[in-house]
Structure 1
Amino acid sequence: MRLPQAAAGHAAARGRGPADRSRALVRRRRSLARPRGGTGRRVARGAGAHRIRAHRRGGAGARRQAGDHRGQPDGSGVLDPARVVNVRADRPDAGRLLGLIDAFASQRIVVAGDLIADEFIYGQIARVSREAPVLILNYDSTEIVPGGAGNAANNVAALGGSARAIGIAGRDETGRRLVDVLKGNRVDVTRIVRPAAYPTPTKTRILAGGIHSAKQQVVRIDRAAAATADEGASQAFEARVLAALPRCDALLVSDYGSGLVTPALIAHARERLRKGAPVLVDSRYALLRFRAMTACTPNESEVEQAMGIRIGDNRRVLERAGRALLQRTRARAVLVTRGSRGMALFEPECPTVHIPIFGSDQISDVTGAGDTVIATMTLALAAGATFFEAASLANYSGGLVVMKRGTATVCADELRQAVTIDAE
């Protein structure tokens, strides 16, 4: 009787000495790790068996593979979570990724949604107060950095794309500084709505440290708008978004819960966009309200909140949640960011791809990392990437930005360097 390939290999190894068995296992591992016939993907099929499948590009980032992922017996095309839980992606071609990064410069991205001012107040620890068990800080400086949709637009511009920010910012001092920073970072701010009576939403972080030590966040104070923007400002926002779409290559929606971005706006936007232009949504609290977008990029806690489950380290639960999210949103792809666990990419009728974190898993600061991820993925899809290629580039960006303090961006040169180093 002929043994399966894996069983035959192990049986042969058992008949040899320790050194021979060690060499045989090394050769076996290398053969398993080596793609055959070009860039491929290993699909777990049970103990002792493996298979490499080449990518076949469809339209606008679609990836189709033949085999066990064809779906349920009823032909629904939905993967059974019990059958696919450990699919691991090989790295995409580095030259292809570098070409996509070069193409970022010609992409025009509309970034629409909630503009937030991230305020950082820095101080040096002086002593412990006698009034209460709290630190007394000697004030150093204050910095205003765009957050929310502003940070996403900042990242698009930093990566070389053309970013047009559309949102609402007050005429208060915080709003003025927020818009000035965006303008200084080459973001088009001409379509931002500026109502007089609107207080700019602000997240104030107080950071403390010694003279020779890194400053750590002590407390955060959120000052949301007392109420949502008035009807006139909301209508002006929607009109400006729709007017900008015919001349853009993709729409990035950043929803932080103000109610400014609505499912109706997304539906109207798809009608205005040129055919095939991607629509990506990052919604902090209401992901299930949005339908039929190209992709969404929730973090794991947002998926848990939306689906009412706890994921943790359980990949089977993650699989069920990701597949359910695909069905309920009717998105073409869902990229779940998992912090130090990397990312998981879900597409209909395709095996789930688990992408390990790039760089160190000792994360410094996650502030605004989701904005960097969706900005990179939007640019990549607009430039013609597959979902896997776009997710891989987003993973590089995410791994870089979480090693920076505060609300930060990643530039195109940093991304190129990461791709090049990882390919060596």
Structure 2
Amino acid sequence: MSEAPTQRTTREGEGSRRQSRGGSSGRRSRRGADTAGGGNRIVSGTRPVRLAPRDLLGLGLLGIRTRKVRAALSALGISIGIATMIVVTGIPASSQKALMEELAALGTNTLQAVPTPGAEPPVLLPEESVNMVSRIGPVTVSSAVANTHAVVHRSDRVDAGDFSGLTVLATKRNLLQSVNGAVGSGQFLNAATEKLPTAVLGSVAASRLGFSELNPDEPAPQIYIDKRWFTVIGILDPVTLAADIDRSVMVGWEAAGDQLRFDGHPTVIYVKAREEAIEDVRKVLPATINPQLPGVVQVSRPSDALAAKRATENTFSALFLGLAGVALLVGGIGVANTMFISVLERRREIGLRRALGANRGQIRGQFLTESVALSSLGGLAGSLLGSLAVLGYAGYQGWPPVIPLNAVGGGFAGAVLVGMAAGVYPSIRASRLTPTEALATT
């Protein structure tokens, strides 16, 4: 007799449930086998543990804290490389600045404009020409002097019968900036004194008038110009760029007009401009000073020292780049060697961490972080040591100290980047070690 439909249905349902339970048990068993046999194999459906930046940093610093002497020596090697880079760039830069100041004192960025001499009738530069020149973009200083056609008879320090015959120049109060001049004693003309009967003497003129310095405890000397007494308020140091000033007496532009019948036309215009544009300024000066007759204006050519200064700058720039590159290369080799040895020394540690579940990415991150930390510590120490060395040596030589910020910042950044690059291979090598290989190492 055939079975009833109800009984067959019941047995089929029970069989299906048993098969389902058996399949689930088989999958669980296989999953457990995969987990047990694979060690570091990631189970399907789970995510790898990611270390927080703080934990990764602490892990990277572990080797530095536990091996302080080795870490200190490694950082010392890096710091010496960075300090060397700063020293070999900072000391030449300080020397270069001192040299540039000496060359600048020779007038590398100055020009002089004068009317054509010997012309009949005499050429007169426009009264507004100085202000017109100051409107040229690259011009930084525009000043002038003018011959007043008055002469100095004597000072109150010599006999009344003496006659000096010194030239009197009407002077703009910014003259010293345009000729790199300096006051040796007293003061120069300012907004108040340029309107009064006051005078400033060149170094040679002061000697011819009977004095070389002003004593603040004594009454100011007087000089007799065109039947008027002028009070001497200053004496200049020798002016290298304008020897005529050393032999002249200077009075204010407005005082010359009021006291000496000066007509306001400049005789010599001094121009200071940016060095990179000095040739362009020279080309436009004649037309700027005298637009109607630019041909009657003569402009001096740039100083020969300008070419020497530019050649020196180019030479030093190439030297800086070469020395910086060598120092960074040496530092990078030191970091790479240190990290490679660290991997060899810590194979058992790597194997233990791998056996406890650390994946390859975490091992790579640990050693890469340690490499960057070592490079950063060495970079900071090297930057400090190099800067102190440059300051000390420049002060000893009497040079203006120059610590190139690009060398300091570039050196530190370069140390970090080189540390990262140097730590890549050791970190990859460490991550490729299997737990059994690493733990088997004696």
Which one has a bigger Cα radius of gyration? 2
| Same structural fold, with TM-score higher than 0.5 when normalized by the shorter chain | no
| Larger relative contact order, structure 1 or 2 (CA cutoff 8 Å, min sep 6) | 2
Q: Whose strand proportion is higher, 1 or 2?
A: 1
Q: Whose helix proportion is higher, 1 or 2?
A: 2
Q: TM-score, normalising length from structure 1? A: 0.19
